[in-house]
Each structure stands twice: as C-alpha cells, then as structure tokens.
C-alpha cells in the first residue's frame, strides 16, 4: 500500500486524547457516562478515548447511520441504520463521532437522542471542519480543527479503505 503524508501524527493524537480525557472527566465529575460510538468512523477514536476515562463509570453503546451522496460529500439525507441497544432515558449521553463537517449527521442524531430524554447530552468529535458547516451543531469537546481537506486514517475512510492507518492523512 502507498504511504500517505501525515496531517496529524499518532503522537499528536495520543497527546490530544489525554487532554480531552481530562476535560471530559472534569465535566462529568464522577457521574456515569453512556458513551455512544457512531460507527464506523469513530470506532478507533472511541476505543482510544474511553481508555482515557478509565477511572469513570462508562457504559458502551453503538449506532450507525448512512448519508447518501458522493463519497466525499454528505448529501444531507441521513438515515439511522443501527440503533442503540439500550434506552438512554435518564443517562448522561456522550456521543462520540469522528468529525463534524456539514453538521447534517450530528444534528440528525442529536435530535433523535435528545427526544429520548437523556439526563444530559453532549457531543465529542475528533475533528471539526468549521468552514464546511451547513447546520449548527453544539459540539462540547473537539480534538482538532482542520481546513477543508478530505482526510483518511484513524477511522476515516475513503470508499471504506484506509481506516486502519494509525495517523490522519490528507487525500490529494
Ligand atoms: P457531516 O454530516 O457532513 O457533518 O459529516 C458526516 C460524515 O461525513 C462523517 O461522519 C464522516 O463519516 C464523513 N466525512 C466528513 N469529512 C470527512 C473526511 O474528511 N474524511 C472522511 N470522512 C469524512
Ligand atoms: Mg461517519
């Protein structure tokens, strides 16, 4: 497989996740977290982030959604393809997603989960592309802001490939 130019290195990710872990611990102050992973893109970020929360009570759950359109562009039409296993009513939901780009995906998921009466609802993303935003999303924790570039690696795919790269790279 070809080598890609590194945008955010393994070391930078590791360092930032430690900081995010601290921010999240302070915010929840010993309360239990219902950590929801948005498949598939957030899977690697999720797995690394929850290990920075090892002294909190954390429950796992997963959902998946699809957005139709070109491969590098969200169409705005989002569909839930896998729902959570348990009810989030009365729980502190921490939604963990790979990126907030146009915002369509997160605003769609937020609406669905907030309607289920969680005790609290917060979003944590690894990346934010603010210049691409179409709808407003309240992201409480974010790893890195990036420019309008299509990234791969560390969970991010290009036609379902390259998710396994341990760093984040840019597709030219
Ligand atoms: P949004 O709905 O436009 O905010 O973005 C939703 C989804 O688009 C994300 O969950 C990613 O799966 C995907 N996405 C957005 N930007 C990128 C990128 O640069 N690389 C890979 N996937 C991306
Ligand atoms: Mg995604």
Tens-digit pLDDT profile for residues 21-43? 999 999 999 999 999 999 999 99
Residues contacting residue 39 through CB under 8 Å, at least 6 positions apart: 62, 63, 64, 82
Q: Which candidate in 101, 138, 148, 157 is catalytic? A: 101
Closest by alpha carbon to 8, among 171, 163, 151, 160? Answer: 151
| Residue 146 CA: distances (Å) to CA of 8, 70, 122, 130, 131 | 10, 21, 21, 8, 9
Tell me if 139 CB under 6 Å of ligand 1.
no
The reported pLDDT for the residue numbered 2 is 73
The reported pLDDT for the residue numbered 172 is 76
Q: How far is CA 151 from the centre of its chain?
A: 14
The reported pLDDT for the residue numbered 70 is 54
In tens digits, the chain (172 residues) has pLDDT values of: 777 899 999 999 999 999 999 999 999 999 999 999 999 999 999 999 999 999 999 999 999 998 765 556 666 789 999 999 999 999 999 999 999 999 999 999 999 999 999 999 999 999 999 999 999 999 999 999 999 999 999 999 999 999 999 999 998 7
DSSP at 157: -
- What spatial distance separates the first Cα and last Cα of the chain, rounded to whole Å? 16
Probe ligand 1: pick from 69, 98, 135, 145, max atoms within 8 Å of CB?
A: 98
**Is the peptide bond prior to 40 cis by the omega test (within 30 degrees of 0)?**
yes
DSSP at 131: G
The reported pLDDT for the residue numbered 77 is 85
Counting from 1 in the atom list of ligand 1, the atom nearest the Cα of 157 is 21
Enumerate the β-bridge partners of residue 33.
58
Q: Helices marked H in the chain — which ranges? A: 10-28, 43-50, 104-114
Q: Both tokens of residue 166?
A: 């341990």
The reported pLDDT for the residue numbered 74 is 63
Closest by alpha carbon to 136, among 111, 157, 161? Answer: 111
**Nearest ligand, CA 131:** 1
CB 141 within 8 A of CB 113: no
Active site residue 101: yes
The reported pLDDT for the residue numbered 87 is 98
The reported pLDDT for the residue numbered 71 is 54
């Amino acid at each position: 497989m070809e080598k890609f130019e590194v945008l955010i290195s393994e070391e930078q990710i590791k360092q930032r996740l430690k900081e995010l872990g601290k921010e999240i611990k302070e915010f929840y102050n010993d309360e239990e977290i219902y950590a929801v992973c948005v498949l598939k893109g957030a899977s690697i970020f999720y797995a690394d982030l929850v290990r920075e929360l090892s002294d909190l009570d954390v429950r796992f759950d997963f959902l998946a959604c699809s957005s139709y359109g070109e491969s590098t562009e969200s169409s705005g039409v989002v569909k839930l393809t896998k729902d959570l296993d348990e009810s989030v009513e009365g729980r502190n939901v921490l939604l963990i997603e790979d990126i907030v780009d146009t915002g369509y995906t997160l605003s769609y998921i937020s609406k669905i989960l907030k309607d289920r009466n969680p005790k609290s609802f917060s979003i944590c993303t690894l990346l934010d592309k603010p210049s691409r935003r179409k709808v407003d999303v309240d992201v409480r924790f974010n790893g890195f802001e990036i420019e309008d570039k299509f990234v791969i690696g560390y969970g991010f795919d290009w036609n379902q490939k390259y998710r396994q790269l341990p760093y984040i790279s840019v597709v030219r």
